[in-house]
Amino acid sequence: MSLRTPKLRLGLLLLLTPMLLWLLLLIILPHVNMAIISLSERVSAGEYAFSLSNYAEFFTESLYWNTFLRTATMSILVTFLTLIIAFPVSYYIAKMLRGRTKGLVFALCLIPFWVSELVRTYGWMILLRETGVVSSSLQWLGLTDGPIEFLYNDAAIIVGLVYTSMLFMVVPLTTTLDSLDDSYIEAGYDLGGNGFTVMREVVIPHAMPGIVSGCIVVFMLTLGNYLTPALLGGKDSLWFTEQIFTQFITRFNWEQGSAFGILLLFLSSFIVWLGLKLSRQSFTRVMS
């Protein structure tokens, strides 16, 4: 009851102020501005008029539409691969390890993230380029005659993105798996389950909120990534954020860039919503 007294509510409001200001000034206002810009079109030098042509451009020029589809499918693939790789790691950390080793292995997952994304991506470039570490080692071992180029293709982009996203999957998964009482797993075995059924009936249902929240974070980060696809993908690195960057910076076409930005926001939100519906999870539960 006391929470309802005016004084305390004022306190709550004051505590929320920095957060609200941050949301309003840095997220909502720029987006409103972007939406307004996206609805205008350059008529002649310095003259602009209301128009929906920037949105029409996205749907009529198959190039932009295809770039978005490509980006979205590759992001989903990256999310899936990250999950496949991160789940055993998280399970090992949460259920197999105890005490200091547990903290140590968890820290090992964290260490690559102490350097910036740019440095990590350049690391991959040094490994994968034609005169790089992997290619030269293969030649030294006599497995191939000439140098091999591993960079500048889709596989390189996916490897880089999965590596960049690992942490954001491992952390929520480890947390949810940690909260699963070991006795439930033992009970599963006692009731005649084998490794597979226990995993399917006990562990995965319990970890579902962690899986979904990890997937949402990884998907959004991958979709919005700019550096990794641009550097590792080379001539075929078609990524939607790159299109937005090009429109803003090299074409000076802020109107088109803003329209792409707004479309990216809505289309990616739609994909996340679809994912939640398909996995029968609610957003509030996943994020708590």
Partner 1 sequence: MKKTMTKTALCALAASLTFAALPAQAETLRILTWGGYAPDNVVEMFEQQTGIDVEVTKSNNEGMISKLRATRGGGFDLVQPSQDRIVSAQADFNIYKPIDLSKIDASQMIGSMLDATKKSTTFEGAVYGVPHVWGTSGLVVNRDKAGSVKDYTDLCNADVAGKVSYRLKRPTLIGFAFAMGEDPFAAYGDVAKYTQIMDKVEKKLISCKANVKTYWEGGDALINLVRSGEVNAAMAWDAAGWKLNNENKAITFVSPKSGALGWIDTFAIPRKADNEAAAYQWINFVMQPKIAAMITEAAGNFTASQGADAYVNDTLKAQYQESFPPADVDNIKWYPPVPAGLEEIEGKVLDRVKAAG
203-230 per-residue burial string, b: 16 or more CB within 10 A, e: under 16: beebbbbbbbbbbbbbbbbbbbbebbbb
Q: Which positions ≥6 away from 193 have C-beta within 8 Å?
A: 201, 202
Q: Where are the alpha helices (DSSP H) in 179-203?
A: 182-190, 195-198
Rounded to a whole number of angstroms, the distance between the first and last alpha carbons of the chain is 25
SS3 call for 193: coil
SS3 call for 42: strand
Interface region with partner 1, contact rule CB under 8 A, candidates 91-99, 102-110, 198-206, 231-239:
231-239
Query: Under the criterion CB under 8 A, does residue 45 sit at the interface with partner 1?
Result: yes
Count of chain residues binding partner 1 (CB under 8 A): 28
Closest approach, Cβ 251 to partner 1, in A, equals 5
Nearer to partner 1, 92 or 149 (CB): 149
Question: Would you tell me the crossing angle of helices 254-278 and 62-91 to the nearest 10 degrees?
Answer: 40
Nearer to partner 1, 46 or 192 (CB): 46
Between residue 244 and residue 273, which ones bind partner 1 under the rule CB under 8 A? 246, 248-254
Query: Under the criterion CB under 8 A, does residue 235 sit at the interface with partner 1?
Result: yes
Tell which one of 152, 168, 240, 260 touches partner 1 (CB under 8 A): 152
Query: Under the criterion CB under 8 A, does residue 116 sit at the interface with partner 1?
Result: no
Binding letters toward partner 1, positions 62-81, x by CB under 8 A: -xx-xx--------------
H helix or E strand, kind and range, residue 43: strand 40-44
Closest approach, Cβ 9 to partner 1, in A, equals 23
Interface region with partner 1, contact rule CB under 8 A, candidates 1-9, 106-114, 124-132, 275-283:
124-132
Interface region with partner 1, contact rule CB under 8 A, candidates 20-28, 59-67, 196-204, 274-282:
59-67
In order of 32, 80, 195, 245, the CA distances from 160 in angstroms are: 33, 14, 32, 20
Binding letters toward partner 1, positions 170-209, x by CB under 8 A: ----------------------------------------
Closest approach, Cβ 139 to partner 1, in A, equals 14
Rounded to whole angstroms, how far apart are CA atoms 161 and 246? 21
User: Which positions lie near partner 1, rule CB under 8 A?
Assistant: 42, 45-46, 61, 63-64, 66-67, 129-131, 149, 151-152, 230, 234-236, 238, 243, 246, 248-254
